[in-house]
Structure 1
Amino acid sequence: MKALRSEVWIFLICTIFFVLVTPAYWFVTAAAGDGEGGGGEWTGTSALVMTTLLAAMVTWYLWFQARKLDERPEDIKDAEISDGAGEQGFFPPYSWWPLWAALTFGVCVMGVIFGWWLFMIGCGLGILALSGWVFEYYRGVHAH
């Protein structure tokens, strides 16, 4: 098996750290409390559990991607700058669709406050904005 890449190691160390810190935090807050309730402070403990799961998810994703990829020039100790030359990937040009999607989300949120009829209008506009964003490379100037 290939050696793990540096970004995998960084997130693996973070995951291990959070796995150790989360129960310690729970026990320390339980001991510092008045003893009622039989547990630690739940808000911070829940946040640490979610942080642990997020770090584990990123670690798993990076490890999974590292297995599929060949060796990168930045991973080779004696690589030259020219080894990384060539196409680096596809970078999309400007797009107005994220703006429309955000505005329709704002209409949906206002619909929850002012009335469900406005929420339904926002959902309809959101479907249009999301469809435009997903299919923007199938038509127009940037079609391929």
Structure 2
Amino acid sequence: MKSEAWIFGGCTIFLVLVTPAYWLVTSASNNGGDWTGTSALVMTTLLTLMVTIYLGFHAKKMDPRPEDRKDAEIADGAGELGFFPPYSWWPLWTASTLGVIVFGVAMAAWWLFIIGAVLGAVALCGFIYEYYRGEHAH
């Protein structure tokens, strides 16, 4: 986690330098500057700072991973890394029904919104429970 904290720390330092420069450049070209972009950069800076602090605190509390140790060997990282799901069609159907729902709201076609919500509930249930039955059941 220490290496990830350093990466986010570098991003935070970059954003701390870029945000005032962006505000100065846009305020020189416009009267009043670009408050939307400056606000977005300030919030991005604060979010990367938050992730840096979180990763830094957790890096101190946990044992170092092989990636964080200078004397680690490649074999130290061997073993099971976790569960990686196989292919699935459910994300496609879930995203498609979300598209139908958003289109129904945008066009004020509430009947289309209702159809998308019902099909979306079915797709979401299939997405959540796909590992309880069938070929990939645990």
Query: Which of the five TM-score ranges fits, normalised by the shorter chain?
Result: 0.7 to 0.9
Structural mapping, 1:14-53, within 5 Å: 14-34=11-31, 39-53=32-46
Report the secondary structure of 1:88's partner residue.
coil
Structural mapping, 1:95-114, within 5 Å: 95-112=88-105, 113=107
TM norm structure 1: 0.78
Range moving further from structure 2, 92-101 or 41-50: 41-50
Deviations along 1:77-120, whole A, 9 cap, x unmatched?
22222211111111111111101101101211221226111011
Name the CA distance, whole Å, in 2 between partners of 1:67 and 1:101.
39
Higher RCO, Cα 8 Å, sep 6+: 2
> How far 1:132 sits from its partner (Å)?
1.6
Range moving further from structure 2, 18-27 or 54-63: 54-63
How many residue pairs are counted as aligned between the two chains?
Answer: 137
Range moving further from structure 2, 6-15 or 71-80: 71-80
Name the CA distance, whole Å, in 1 between partners of 2:18 and 2:68.
31
Q: Which residue of 1 aligns with 2:9?
A: 12
Q: What are the ranges of 5 or more consecutive residues in structure 1 without an aligned counterpart?
A: none
Q: What are the ranges of 5 or more consecutive residues in structure 2 without an aligned counterpart?
A: none
Name the CA distance, whole Å, in 2 between partners of 1:128 and 1:74.
42
Residues 1:90 and 1:64: Cα distance change in structure 2 (over 3 Å): farther
RMSD (CA atoms): 2.3
Structural mapping, 1:1-144, within 5 Å: 5-34=2-31, 39-63=32-56, 65-67=58-60, 69-112=62-105, 113=107, 115-144=109-138
> How far 1:138 sits from its partner (Å)?
2.2
The one-letter code matched in structure 1 to 2:16 is V
